[in-house]
């Protein structure tokens, strides 16, 4: 099989998994708090990422980093998984999945804006236009089709969702200077973040969450959203002869996610969700392709 075909298959696998996680978030949060969900998911992800390194014969790389890189792992672990997933799960805990999921995809636009002061990139006219269109879609979704009222269904939930995009974009700004192997780096980030998550969970919500639905959902999130999907996407980017074709697969995910949300969660998908999502994804597509020489290839996130 040609490398590009392999890349497309790996990319499709990652996109399919990302399309299911909004549903998994909501099912788990029916019986778990965001902190409990994050604790179990992070633990599951650590085992998956460690297993990938063992199977690939690269486990030794975990012990061959510099002292500065281990310190870096602690700092990045506080950002991802700690802060990012606290905000993301908090958003899904307060908002319907059809609202929280599209808002999360605006991180790509935030990344473009943050790249101006932190990476020295220039802001183009299309970036400004895309921002206006994209956040118009956010307002349409958050107000459930009544944008002129500016009456948000859950202001704090919307703030959590938009805050998670700021944290996720900041994480990838920091990651541009990360020389660690991607899987090794993610594993160490999660290992360093795990004690912080456990302490927070212990002091707030406790560890009394013996529910099959909650545990199974959290493990699914950890294994696939935080682990396998990241590895598949990394393989897709490495094998791709045309990264733009693979990157375009990301735009399938939010629409496919609505299918799972409708049939599994039973949420009635509002017309405003479709309108807002088309505005968001259309703006992101334009921002990525009109005049851009290199498409964003980072993972899409939750």
- Whether residue 180 is predicted with pLDDT greater than 80 in this model: the reply is yes
Of 129-133, 144-148, 185-189, the range with the lowest mean pLDDT is: 144-148
pLDDT tens-place string over residues 11-48: 999 999 999 999 999 999 999 999 999 999 999 999 99
Question: CA 156 from chain center: how many Å?
Answer: 19
Residue 180's region, left for phi above 0, alpha for psi from -120 to 50, else beta, is beta
Of 24-28, 167-171, 239-243, the range with the lowest mean pLDDT is: 239-243
Q: How confident is the model at residue 293 (pLDDT cuts 50, 70, 90)?
A: very low
State the DSSP H helix or E strand holding residue 257, giving kind and residue range, or none if neither: helix 253-260
- 86: Cβ–Cβ under 8 A, 6 or more apart, which residues? 34, 35, 38
Question: CA 45 from chain center: how many Å?
Answer: 14
Q: Using CA atoms, how far apart are residues 31 and 152, in angstroms rounded to an integer? A: 25
Per-residue model confidence (pLDDT) at position 123 = 85
Length of the chain: 302
Of 127-131, 241-245, 274-278, the range with the lowest mean pLDDT is: 241-245
Measured from the Cβ of residue 125, the count of other Cβ atoms closer than 10 Å reads 9
Per-residue model confidence (pLDDT) at position 48 = 96
pLDDT tens-place string over residues 63-95: 999 999 999 999 999 999 999 999 999 999 999
Q: Using CA atoms, how far apart are residues 180 and 49, in angstroms rounded to an integer? A: 14
Q: Give me 168's structure tokens.
A: 């996720």
């Amino acid at each position: 099989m040609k490398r590009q075909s392999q890349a497309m298959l790996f990319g499709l696998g990652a996109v399919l998994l990302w399309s299911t996680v909004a549903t998994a978030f909501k099912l788990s949060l029916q019986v778990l708090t965001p902190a409990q969900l994050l604790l179990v998911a992070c633990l599951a992800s650590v085992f998956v990422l460690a297993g990938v390194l063992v199977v690939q014969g690269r486990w030794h790389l975990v012990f061959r980093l510099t002292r500065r890189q281990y310190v870096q792992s602690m700092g990045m672990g506080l950002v991802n998984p700690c802060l990012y997933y606290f905000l993301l799960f908090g958003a899904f805990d307060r908002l319907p999945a059809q609202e929280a999921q599209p808002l999360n995809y605006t991180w790509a636009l935030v990344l473009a804006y943050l790249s101006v002061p932190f990476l020295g990139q220039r802001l183009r006219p299309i970036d400004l236009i895309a921002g206006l269109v994209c956040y118009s879609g956010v307002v349409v979704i958050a107000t459930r089709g009544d944008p002129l009222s500016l009456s948000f269904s859950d202001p704090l939930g919307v703030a959590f969702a938009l805050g998670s995009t700021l944290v996720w974009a900041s994480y990838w700004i920091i990651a541009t200077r990360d020389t660690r192997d991607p899987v090794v780096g993610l594993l160490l980030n999660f290992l360093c973040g795990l004690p912080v998550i456990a302490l927070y969970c212990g002091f707030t919500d406790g560890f009394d969450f013996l529910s099959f639905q909650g545990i199974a959902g959290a493990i699914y999130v950890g294994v696939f959203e935080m682990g396998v999907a990241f590895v598949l996407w990394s393989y897709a980017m490495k094998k791709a002869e045309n990264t733009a074709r693979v990157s375009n697969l990301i735009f399938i995910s939010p629409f496919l996610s609505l299918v799972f949300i409708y049939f599994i969660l039973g949420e009635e998908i509002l017309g405003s969700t479709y309108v807002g999502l088309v505005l968001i994804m259309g703006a992101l597509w334009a921002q990525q392709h009109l005049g851009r020489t290199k498409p964003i290839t980072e993972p899409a996130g939750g």
